């Protein structure tokens, strides 16, 4: 029994000690990568590291039937490249509008500051994750869906 509790405490400790990921790089280039050719006018994109998803199961060990936790990777970590609004499009007024849009959807509980802080990035992640992008960097598609960036006529 004590072994099980010690094992679970060890796993919980490891999970709490995750390092902060480095700041994602946003690049601007008039020639968008081929993978972004479907996004009209996409001149800026970002690469973000999507963390691996793991699952911990209790598995029997030995003949005594004792169970110990074992983690396995359900989805490996990957780098995602996606179109983003260019930095000159994300001024303090636009970020404040983003925060208000996320508050209206019940995803952001902080103040409207016009600053892209960790709390806003978490709210952006909660907005984008159900749409297939588990990232705190605002994608061009999400910015268009929220009405922050113009949608090209051919996509209307």
Helical segments of the chain, H only: 2-16, 92-104, 118-128, 140-145
Q: What predicted TM-score, i.e. pTM, was given to this entire model?
A: 0.62
pLDDT digits (tens, 9 = 90+) for 98-127: 999 999 999 999 999 999 999 999 999 999
Q: Give the DSSP H or E segment for 50.
A: strand 44-50
More confidently predicted of 39 and 71: 71
∠ CA 88-91-95, rounded to 5°:
130
Q: Where are the domains of the chain?
A: 2-155
Residue 47 neighbours by CB distance under 10 Å? 14
> Strands 66-75, 53-61: parallel, antiparallel or unpaired by DSSP?
antiparallel
Cα–Cα distances in angstroms (integers) from residue 40 to residues 5, 85, 94, in the given order: 54, 12, 21
Q: Which pLDDT does position 38 carry in this prediction? A: 41
Residue 85 neighbours by CB distance under 10 Å? 23
Q: Which pLDDT does position 106 carry in this prediction? A: 96
Would you call 109 helix, strand, or coil by DSSP? Answer: coil
Residue 39 has pLDDT above 70, yes or no: no
- Residue listed under structure tokens 């952001």: 108
Cα 59 to Cα 67: distance, rounded to the nearest angstrom = 5
Give the mean model confidence (pLDDT) for residues 127-131.
93
């Amino acid at each position: 029994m004590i072994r099980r509790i010690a094992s679970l405490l060890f796993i919980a400790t490891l999970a709490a000690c995750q390092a902060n990921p480095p700041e994602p790089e946003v690049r601007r280039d008039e020639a968008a990568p081929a993978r972004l050719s479907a996004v009209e006018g996409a001149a800026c994109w970002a690469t973000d590291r999507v963390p691996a998803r793991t699952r911990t199961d209790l598995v029997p060990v030995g003949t005594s039937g004792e169970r110990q936790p074992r983690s396995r990777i359900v989805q490996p970590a990957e780098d995602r490249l996606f179109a983003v609004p260019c930095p000159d499009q994300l001024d303090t007024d636009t970020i404040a509008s983003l925060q208000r849009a996320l508050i209206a959807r019940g995803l952001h509980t902080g103040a409207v500051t016009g600053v892209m802080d960790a709390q806003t990035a978490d709210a952006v992640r909660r907005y984008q994750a159900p749409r297939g992008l588990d990232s705190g960097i605002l994608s061009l598609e999400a910015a268009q869906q929220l009405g922050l960036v113009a949608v090209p006529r051919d996509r209307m």
